[in-house]
Structure 1
Amino acid sequence: MSNLKQEILKLLKSDRFISGQEMADRLKVSRTSVWKSINGLKTEGYSIESVTKKGYHLKEHPRYISPTALKVLVEGSSLFTRMEYLETTESTQIEAMQKLESQEGAYVVVALEQTKGRGRFSRPWASPKNSGLYLSIVLRPNIPITEIIRFNLFISLALSEALDAAFGVESGIKWPNDIYIKNKKVSGFLTEVVSESNVINAIICGIGINIYKNEDVTALGTATDIESEIDPDREIDLDDFMKKLIHNIEVYYDRFINEPFSSIREEWKSRSIVFNKKLKITETNESYVAKVLDIDSDGFLEVLDEAGEIRRVVSADIEL
């Protein structure tokens, strides 16, 4: 049986007043049980008002994804089977890695704070408490390791579309792992794999999103957050965003497994911010300036450097 708080939260999200008695009747529990669950939701950060003869109404969502809402999403997911919710951790990537042998299937690790969050090339990712969304997803695709760049492109599209749908922004993708709004980074993800004989047994994808204004993030100069980019009157509903994100990951992961990159290539290009710009590209032993010409069917960039040579970028750090 589902947790009672989860069922009551679903009813409160109906965008109308609902009486305690109606909830009790529909869920076949006592009014006291309903009252206790509502108080439990309040402790998770939900602002719930009670009006005589009208009932309860959800006024505001918490400034973080609540454990109850996350359980609702995972229980209804066609992909994920388990979730781990943490107040604080060094890194959701570390937590997810440590659970690979004890947990089967696909699962999610979410934290309100990371003390040692990191991005690509081991760069630190500022992860202050209740300021962003920090999670790692674990997937088990059993595919050749050469497919990982294609995975990044599908997931970047899933993330960008979810941000736009939930918050009304216009985000863009910087190949291969970053999401930008108005030329500032709002989100990034780190993809790591566990493989054997060049076959991927597990993908661990850590996602960081700047949600609320924070001095640590603002001080970077190159970063932004959702709160700074949306209409001041627009509510930030992280439950709704996570619902859209999980759904998009389910959809695009299924497409990644079953379709070539060409099926999303034009859609991805329409969201890309790397075309028609001079970029600094840093590969293993070399840095150079180049202009992106195209992205090929494998997901690799085709660029024209300042010497007039066309290059194929397989793995690199790109600066706008």
Structure 2
Amino acid sequence: MSAFLHGTWTIAALEVRQRVRSLAWYVLLGIFAVLLIIVTMLASAAFLTSPERFRGTYSVVVYFVLLLAVLVTPALSGNAINGDRDAATLAPVQVTLVTTWQIILGKFLAAWITGLAFVAVAVPFLAFTAIAGGVPPGVLAVSIVVLLVEIAVVAAVGVGLSGILNRPLFSVVATYLVVAALTVGTLIAFGLGGTSVKSEAVQQYRDYVYDANGMVSDPPVCGEWQTSEYEVPRLDYVWWTLTPNPFVILADATPIAFDARGYPVDLFGQISTSVRQVQLPPDLEQRFDGCRQGAFNEDFDTAEQIHAKTTPSWFVGLALQVVLAAAALVWAWARTRTPAGRLPKGTRIA
């Protein structure tokens, strides 16, 4: 096992050294640091009136790091294998003592480490907002762990596709398409699926009779019951399409805090509660009596109550992502292993 780990780390170290030699890499990290400063200031201003100002800012910074990581990591990992094949540097490595799995895992580890560089740059901002906002250790630990896992998933998909596809450009684009499917695609599937499946809802209502001046008649007279029918999107049927979304997983896995009114104090809670709310089926039979005293002061479930009576789904989405990443790496191993009985047309081997 030690020999396997040594070979894997050797491949990863070589990859990382090649990446950090480029001046453009440091320029990219510098731009990211500047953007973090701007985002932290804007988020702090957005939560200025909130008692949990810096806790809300912390959640925004974590989401921004996740956004930049999933946007940059495909470019760092999408040509890891086929790029070396095109440059005729893969074959010399394959004839050494390192195995195919060591090459695959070493390149995955290198792509993950380079993706983690963005987290390293964000550490001062995360530490400041966490300490200033009194972020609980559980929230800090879970959010960082999920952030690291999401970067690993994207890196694994990119490396896997670089071993499956022959052209570096195609594999990079394919990795971006997978990331887009997990982020934007899940939202589109949720919206289209929810609006395409509808149920008939019936609403009954009545109110006081008003005179020509818009005033309630004296003595007050209650009008007749009115009935209206309309269609309601069944979002509760398709809410599961959001489970593989990285941003939903991060929100749903992180422990949520609520204020005295039962509303979330940070972006984690706002996103998690919104996703949890669509799990609840709509009320298809509504009755509103405007003549009843207190009709306009009826109690509705707070975000905290909604969150308490719904089901977490982050582990399902994370499991789907891990399966996708593992399948990509296994397929890449099958396409890269040597000796190869059959090679795709146009494949460069030396």
Q: TM-score, normalised by structure 2?
A: 0.23
TM-score (norm 1): 0.25
Higher RCO (CA < 8 A, seq sep 6+): 2
Which structure dedicates a bigger proportion of its chain to strand? 1
Larger Rg belongs to? 2
Greater share of residues in helix = 2
